[in-house]
Amino acid sequence: MSIEDDVALLERVPTFRVLGRESLRMLAIGSEQREIARGDRLFQLGDEADCGFVVQRGSFRIDDGAGAEMIVGPAALLGELALVHPMRRPSTATALEYSTAIRIARSLFQRVLESDPAAARRLRDEFVARTSQIASDILIAGGKLST
């Protein structure tokens, strides 16, 4: 894929969409592509997480080790929090077919945000809005469970 193809893919990711085209171009240029064979793991539960991945092609099963799992495909961002904070992987990602993913290092992501404070503010606002929505959803669900 070309840099422009990667930028177009990154624009489809809600977390990245708010950054703007120039920041996405920097991410695309500085990232690396990974190829993952069917059945291979992109990462495993408990691994050090120093990057995020955007699925380019194929699909992955995400398993938290406690029975919860989901299937993700192109434009899915895996490891969003690892882009902003050191942590261990809370799940395992296994390729369900030959797949490719863009690896975005935390250090690259942080440099991009430092170089574009307006993009960093938009990302912060996006995180705040999502966190508020999650808190609201939890309150609503809790209210339904207690009745």
**Number of compact structural domains in the chain:** 1
DSSP labels for the chain?
A: --HHHHHHHHHTSHHHHTT-HHHHHHHHHH-EEEEE-TT-EEE-TT-EE-EEEEEEES-EEEE-SSS-EEEE-TT-EE-TGGGTS-EE-SSEEEESSSEEEEEEEHHHHHHHHHH-HHHHHHHHHHHHHHHHHHHHHHHHHHHHHH-
- Tens-digit pLDDT profile for residues 6-24: 999 999 999 999 999 999 9
pLDDT at 127: 85
Per-residue confidence band for 147, with pLDDT thresholds at 50, 70 and 90 = low
- Tens-digit pLDDT profile for residues 30-59: 999 999 999 999 999 999 999 999 999 999
Parent domain of 134: 3-146
**What's the CATH number where 93 sits?**
2.60.120.10
pTM of the model: 0.87
Lowest mean pLDDT among 8-12, 79-83, 122-126, 135-139: 135-139
